[in-house]
Amino acid sequence: MVDQVPADISDLKRLLEAISFDQSVVVVEGTSGTGKTTICKMAAKKISEVFPDVSVFWISSEQTFPEKVLKDIFSNLRSRAIIFIDNFSAFFFSIERLLEIDTPSVPKLLVLIDRTNIVNRHAKNARAIASSVFTTRKINEEDAKKILEKLRKNGPWAFLGSLRSDSERIRMILDKSNRDLLVGLREATEGRGYDEIVRSDYTSIESEQTRKVFLLILCGTVFRAGISRNTLYGASEYLGIGDKEVNESVSQFLAGMIYQRKGVYFGHHQLLAEYIITNLASKVEVLSCVDALIFSLSRFSPPLRRNAPGAESKLFVSVVNHEFLGRLFSNRRTDVINMLEKYEKYFEADALFLLQMALLEKALGGRYVDRALSRIQMALRLWPTSYQVINGAANIIFDTADAASDRITALQKMEQASDILRDQLEDQKTEAYAAVCLARGRIAVMSKWDVSGLRGEWGTIQKNLKAIQAKHPSNSEVASALRSLPLVVARATARNDRTV
């Protein structure tokens, strides 16, 4: 495809060489978020210009219901197509399921785009199903020379000017940009480290009101979710900050730290947002901001995933995520539960909210497990077809089985949890996740309450997992279960043999 495309940008040329209908999935990753997106948009434009017979699509997680858009494209293709999917990690599971059930009628190529660290965290399986992986390159020496010319004319030059030669200055730019071009250039030109730069920027915000407005925006940016103007105003009002103060904050005091796109606010960089929220900001203040965001979003009728606009829906899914809340407030989880309980009555018809709250209570254990069970059962009634709710319910019931006071109750609850997963095991789209949930849950309960039947149970489970692995070779959870569960079985049976 590259033969007919004039490309004087090396990364663009390399990417076009990597794109071919001999492949089905190409993953594009690297350290620079904007760099990858820009290169891929240029590639999409070039392909559209040179190959009018090829349908070119661009999808991003910022789009409303991207999974539905992608499914509609797959269903209605009539000619060769290249589908670029930016920020794909946010909904990779949906992409993977669609690929598994798709029967190709016309040639199509998916180009999946995201930052390397995000892929590592959320979508490792993408590389396994990719025909090829394309990595955008870091800046080279020629790039550094051009940057140096501009910095010499326009600054900042103080630190670079103190170095003895251009070769030292170029080396400084190249070495620092290995982290990320944006942050790396600041390190190189200011002579300060990443932590110090971010800390200095954050502590330079003198007004408490401006700091809270900043944190409200960053709570979304951590998940690359923007905050609409109306949601920001509503959350700020909840915190006692008026519209005038919000406008002054975003237009004056936070200039250079945030940006606005079509009425939606973002922090300038996801890594910076995550560092500030995790390491610098007061946990009490961040929790109050999460509280304010949920309050502001409660103006929409539940369930929000269906009734709120795309930006608000994505923000809601992000700020109530149990993993995010549990990790960020690891020592304050009861405070988080107390905060969420304020909205329980309002969101009683929102299965996603109930699911996340139940999973957070499950992680707390003890007296919270029964409350988690009650909540997940409500979520099941509201959304009985959701694999997330079904797996969550099964996991929680397995936990109650493990914590039961007697063997009969434990085994009854284990079978109840297993029954919930039956339909999921019959569906090719969800069988792998259901099988892992079933395997881990049953082995954990039987290791404690029915060791005599454990070896036979593991034999059956292992056979089923291997059959599923043959159908889903890239599923890391299945592989992990096959590695770890034999050790659980061996330890339990060894303990049992010693006591007998």
Q: Which residues pair with 85 in a beta bridge?
A: 59, 112
| Alpha-helix residue ranges (DSSP H) falling in 403-475 | 407-420, 422-425, 431-449, 454-471
User: Which amino acid would we find at residue 1?
Assistant: M
Average pLDDT, the chain: 84
**pLDDT in the model for residue 4:** 40
User: How high is the pLDDT of residue 3?
Assistant: 42
Pairwise pLDDT comparison (133 vs 212), residue with the higher score? 212
- With a cut of 80, say whether residue 31 has pLDDT above it: no
Is the confidence at residue 479, as pLDDT, over 50? yes
Q: What is the dihedral of CA 7, 9, 15, 20, to 10 degrees?
A: 0
The least confident of 107-111, 246-250, 269-273 is: 269-273
- How many Cβ atoms sit within 10 Å of the Cβ of residue 466? 11
For the cut 60, the answer to whether the pLDDT of residue 72 exceeds it is yes
Contact 197, 187 (CB under 8 A): yes
* H helices, E strands: number in the chain: 28, 8
Given this model, what pLDDT does residue 418 score?
94
User: Residue 180: its pLDDT value, please?
Assistant: 58
Distance between CA atoms of residues 396 and 376, nearest Å: 8
Question: What are the tens digits of pLDDT across the range 375-421?
Answer: 999 999 999 888 889 988 999 999 889 888 899 999 999 999 999 99
DSSP annotation of 237 reads H
pLDDT tens-digit series, residues 415-427? 999 999 988 888 8
**397-401 — which CB contacts under 8 Å span 24+ positions?**
397/373, 398/437, 398/440, 398/441, 398/442, 398/444, 398/445, 399/362, 399/365, 399/369, 399/372, 400/369, 400/370, 400/373, 401/441, 401/445, 401/449
Q: What is the DSSP string of 38-75?
A: HHHHHHHHHHHHH-TTSEEEEEETTSSSHHHHHHHHHH
Q: What is the DSSP letter of 3?
A: G
- Per-residue three-class SS string for 383-416: CCCCHHHHHHHHHHHHHHHHCCCCHHHHHHHHHH
HEC readout, 74-118 = HHHCCCCEEEEEECHHHHHHHHHHHHHHCCCCCCEEEEEEEEHHH
Model confidence at 2, in pLDDT bands (50, 70, 90)? very low
